[in-house]
Structure 1
Amino acid sequence: MVNKKIQEEEQQLFQLYNRFPLVLDHGEGVYLYDTDGKKYLDFAAGIAVMSLGYQNKELEESLTEQIKKLCHTSNLFYHENGGAAAEALNRVSGMDHVFFTNSGTEAIEGALKTARKYAALKGNGRFEIIAMEDSFHGRSMGALSVTGTAAYREPFEPLIPGVRFARFNDLDSVKANITDKTCAILLEPLQGEGGIHPATQGFMEGIRALCDEQDILMICDEIQCGMGRTGNMFAWQEYGVRPDILTMAKAIGNGIPVGAFAVTEQVAAHSMKPGDHGTTYGGNPLACMAVKKVVEIFEKDKIVEHVREIAPYLTKRLDELVEETDCVTERRGKGLIQGIVVTKPAGEVINRAIEEGLLIISAKGNVLRFVPPLIIEKEHIDEMIEKLKHALL
C-alpha cells in the first residue's frame, strides 16, 4: 500500500524532493504514524516546526473555531487576530513592529528589502549585504543570494548582486568584507542547515558593535533556532545582542504556514512605507490565530523553562554517544537543536533509524540533526538513543 501511494504521488507531482520511502498518516504527542500503523519517535519535528508536538488539543480547538469563522480577508481589512498576534510576537521576541509572511523565506525577502530601503532613505548609496559562509536562508532568488553554500546558489546564477560572504564566528573576516556600500550584516545566531554551529558571544557582540559604529543594520535569522529551541524564546536574547531586524517562522505557527520579520522602532520609522511590500495571504486570520495561541501555550505551559530543564539531559546522552561510539566524533548545538558528526554516510544512518522507528534529519558536514518537539521528556531521549545506537551499527 505504501509503495502504491508513493508511485501515485511521483506520477503527479513535480519531484523536487529526495524523499524517504515513508507515507505518514497522523501524529500524537511526539510520535508519528505511517499509513500501515507503524509508530515513529519524531526527533525532526517537521524541521523544527512542531515544537508543541502533534494533536495539541488547545491549539486544534482554537484553529477549528477560526476556520468556522474566517480564514482570509486580504490585507485591505483588519481582523481581530492580527493585532493580538503581533503584540504577542513582539513581546516574546523583544522587537517593536512585525510584518507577517507565509514562510521563513518570505521573511528573509522582507528583511532584505527593509535593509535596502533603510539605506536608500539615508541617501548614502549603500546596498551591499554581508552574509555568512555555510548559512542557509531559503530558496527564493533573494534568499538564495544570501545563502552561503555555493552548491545551492550556482545553478541559478546570476543572482541578486551586492552580496559578500564572511566566515562565521570570524569577526576579522566580517570586517574585511565591509565597504562604504555595506547596508546590512545577516547571520543565524545558530547555523542549522550549515552543520549546527552556534555563534560565539564575542562574534555576536562584535557584529553589533560594527553595525552601531557604521550605521549598518544587523539582521538575525531565527527561523530555525528561534521560538524556544535554544533555551531562550529567541537565541539573540541569550547573547544580549538585539538585532535591528529579526526573521522567524517554523515554530511560531506549529504547523500552520506562517512567518514574520520584526524590526526596531528606528528601522520601522525610516524604511518601508505602504506599497513597498505586501502579501495576499500573509497575516491571515487563521495564521494569526495560530501565532497568538502558540505564544499563549508557550507562556502558560512554560515551554522555554522546560527546554532549559530537559536539554542538559539530551546533551549528556549525546556526549556519551560520542565517547562510546567510534563512528560518532563530535556533538554540537545548544538547547534542543543538536547535531552529531558521524563517519558513516548520514543518509544511510537516517534510513536505518527509520527502520528502527526513529525520525531524524541531516545537516551539512555529515551531521545528524536533532530538533525534536520541545515537549519531549527524558524517556523520549532514552528511547531515541537506543534506537540511534541500533541505526549506527
Structure 2
Amino acid sequence: MNQIETASSTDLEHSPVGELVHSHATGAQWLSRYSSSLMGVFGTPQRVLVRGAGCLVWDADGKEYLDLLGGIAVNALGHAHPFVTSVISSQLATLGHVSNFFTSPTQIALAEKLLELSKAPAGSKVFFANSGTEAVEAAFKLARRNTGASHAAAAESAAKPRTKIIALEGAFHGRTMGALALTAKEAYRAPFAPLPGGVVHVPFGDIEALRAAVDNTTAAVFLEPIQGEAGVRPLPAGYLKAAREATTAAGALLILDEVQTGIGRTGKWLASEDAGIVPDAVTLAKGLGGGFPIGALVTFGPENSALLTAGQHGTTFGGNPVATAAALATLHVLESQDVLAHVRAVGEHLRAGLAAIDGVTEVRGEGLLIGFDLDADVAPGVVAAGLDAGFIVNSPGPRTIRLAPPLILTTDQADRFLAALPALLQTAKDAQ
C-alpha cells in the first residue's frame, strides 16, 4: 500500500477548502445554500461572515463591521489573533488529538494555570470539556454525587437523598438536557419535557427566597454572577456570600456558572472573585479558548474534587492538545499584556458614554459585559440598523441591547459606536 502524501499549500489552493476561501459568491447565494443544507435551529443568519481581524469582520459582500458581540463573549482576543493562531497551527502540526487514555503537556499546564488563576485551594482539580453547556453537564453530575456527608449538615443529611438542585429565574446554563433543566426560559424547556428532575427555580436576587429553598435535600445551587442571556443582570451585593452561607449550612454545593463572565470578561479572571467566598465548583468556556472550542469545570478542594471518580464522566475531544494550547495562548496574552486592566478602563468609558445617550434608561454590567435598556421596544430594530451601519450587537430582550466585544476593543472603537447609537435608535423608532 502506498503512503498517503501530505498535501502542499499549492494543492490546498485548488482543493474545495481553498475554493471556499477564494469564492466570489454573494451573501444571498450563500444563504440560499444555507437554507437548503443546515437545520433551521438558529433561524436565518443575519450575514455570511468570511474574514476577521481584531475587532473587525467582513461579510461575503465585502462589508466591514465592528464586532461588539465577539461571538457572544467568545473571541476574547478578537479575530485571527497572530499569537493564538501561530500556537494553534504549531500544536496541530505537532500533535492534534489523542484519546483520554493519554494526556499531553498542554492539558496538564492549562489545568495548573486555571487552578492558579481561580485561586483554588490545595486538592482542587479540573475537568475539560468542549463547550459551556458540557461544562455545566459535568457540574450537574457533580451535584448528583453530593450526599452532604462531608459538610456541616452531615449528621442530619447523610442518610437522606439529595434530589433538589436550585437555580434562578432568568438563568441560562445551556441547551443540553441537564443544563436545560437548569435554564429558566420555558420556551427553551417545553419542547423537550420531561427534563432531568429535581430542579427548582427561585426568584432572581431574592436572598430570603434562596435561603428558604435551600434545605438538607439540596444537592447544589447553580448561580451566574451576572445573568447574560437575561439582559446582563448582576446579582445584588451580598447575594453570593448569603448563598455560600446557606449552602454550607445545608451541606449543598455552590456552583458558579462563569461560562460568560469568566476569563477576563468583567475585568477580573472570575466575576465572583471579589465576593469573599470560595465556591465548590466553577464552570468556564467561551473566552477561554480565544475562539477555539473548550470548556472546563474547576472543582475546589479535595472533597468536591473526589465526587466524580473514574468512569463516571468523560469526553472524546475535551482537553485535546490543540484546544488546551489555544487556551494557554489566550491566557498568556491576557496576562502578559495586562488586558484585564484595559477591559476595566474601556468598559467604564463605554458604560459612561451609554448612560449619557438620550433614550438609554439603564446601563448594567462589568468590564466588557454590558447591557443597556431603551425607552421603547426597539432593541431588535437597533440590531438591524446596527448591521446596516456596520455594527454587530445583540438584543436579549425587546428593550435591551447586550455588548460583549473582544477584550481588546479600543476606546476609539467604543466611541465609534457611541457616536452612531443615537441615529441607530432613531432609525429603529422610525421603522416601528
Q: Normalised by the size of structure 1, how large is the TM-score?
A: 0.96
Question: 1:76-95 counterparts in 2 under 5 A?
Answer: 76-95=101-120
- Where structure 1 has 5 or more consecutive residues not aligned to the other structure, the ranges are none
Deviations 1:90-133 (A, max 9, x none): 11122321100010000000001011112287553112100000
Deviations 1:230-271 (A, max 9, x none): 121111112222211100100000111100110012344540
In 2: Cα distance, 1:269 partner to 1:151 partner: 34
Alpha-carbon contact 2:379-2:398 (below 8 Å) kept = no
Moved more, 379-388 or 139-148: 379-388
Q: Which residue of 2 aligns with 1:276?
A: 312
Equivalent AA in structure 1 for residue 363 of structure 2: R
Number of aligned pairs?
A: 389
Alpha-carbon contact 1:185-1:218 (below 8 Å) kept = yes
Q: Which residue of 2 aligns with 1:367?
A: 400
Specify whether residues 269 and 40 from structure 1 end up closer, same or farther in structure 2 by C-alpha distance, changes over 3 A only: closer
Question: 1:1-393 counterparts in 2 under 5 A?
Answer: 1-95=26-120, 96-119=124-147, 122-321=158-357, 324-325=358-359, 328-342=360-374, 343-364=376-397, 366-393=399-426
Moved more, 172-181 or 23-32: 172-181
Moved more, 203-212 or 236-245: 236-245
Shift of 1:171: 0.8
Equivalent AA in structure 1 for residue 42 of structure 2: Y
Across the aligned residues of Structure 1 and Structure 2, the Cα RMSD in angstroms comes to: 1.4
SS at 2:242 equivalent:
helix
Shift of 1:28: 0.7
User: Which aligned segments of 4 or more residues in structure 1 are displaced greater than 3 angstroms?
Assistant: 120-124, 266-270
Deviations 1:161-207 (A, max 9, x none): 10111112111111222233111011100000011110122111100
SS at 2:31 equivalent:
helix
Q: Which residue of 1 aligns with 2:11?
A: none
Alpha-carbon contact 1:223-1:250 (below 8 Å) kept = yes
Deviations 1:264-296 (A, max 9, x none): 123445401000000000000101101111111
Bigger radius of gyration among the two: 2
Specify whether residues 162 and 36 from structure 1 end up closer, same or farther in structure 2 by C-alpha distance, changes over 3 A only: same
- Where structure 2 has 5 or more consecutive residues not aligned to the other structure, the ranges are 1-25, 150-157, 427-432
Moved more, 215-224 or 331-340: 331-340
Alpha-carbon contact 1:44-1:372 (below 8 Å) kept = yes
Equivalent AA in structure 1 for residue 399 of structure 2: N
Deviations 1:347-381 (A, max 9, x none): 22101100000000122453100111111111011
In 2: Cα distance, 1:62 partner to 1:24 partner: 24
Shift of 1:139: 0.5
Alpha-carbon contact 1:118-1:267 (below 8 Å) kept = no
Specify whether residues 350 and 269 from structure 1 end up closer, same or farther in structure 2 by C-alpha distance, changes over 3 A only: closer
